[in-house]
Amino acid sequence: MVPLVAVGALFVIGGALIRPRPRPDERRATGTVVESGSGYALGDPAWVCTIEFHDSAGAVRRFQPPLTSARRRAVGTPVAVAYSPSDPAGTARKTDGLDGSLHWVVMGVGAALVVAGLLL
């Protein structure tokens, strides 16, 4: 079925487009959840958190990941962080959980749709 293949291809392309782009000078660190609170995303309750980490210069940095969660992250929970030393505040991102793998999920769904469309 051509429509299924086309939709699957769009998912694969979309997943590739939302893939985090590593920077040449990217560094990794372990951060900690320092705040966790509730909010709303698309009208539904969601949990947002603030993550704190130390950059390569030893400065403390804080950021909020763009993705919200349906479950609360406990304060003190360690999380993997990637950032660029040239702009730690502007490039910090969470790299574990859904934040680090959403693009793979989207591309996997797309690939499954393409295969299903070709087999039907």
The pLDDT tens digits for 63-100 are 998 877 767 788 999 999 999 999 998 899 988 877 77
Q: Which of 22, 92, 88, 16 is nearest to 51 (CA)?
A: 92
Q: Is the pTM of this model over 0.85?
A: no
Q: In whole angstroms, give the CA distance from residue 105 to residue 120.
A: 23
CATH of the domain at 53: 2.40.50
Same domain, yes or no, for 41 and 9?
no
Q: What is the pLDDT of residues 41-55, one digit of tens each?
A: 677 777 888 999 999
pLDDT digits (tens, 9 = 90+) for 10-41: 999 999 888 878 888 999 999 999 998 887 76
Range of the domain at 113: 1-20+101-120
Same domain assignment for residues 34 and 57: yes
How many structural domains is the chain composed of?
2
11 burial (CB, 10 Å; 0-12 / 13-18 / 19+) is: buried
CA–CA dist 97, 52 (Å, integer): 17
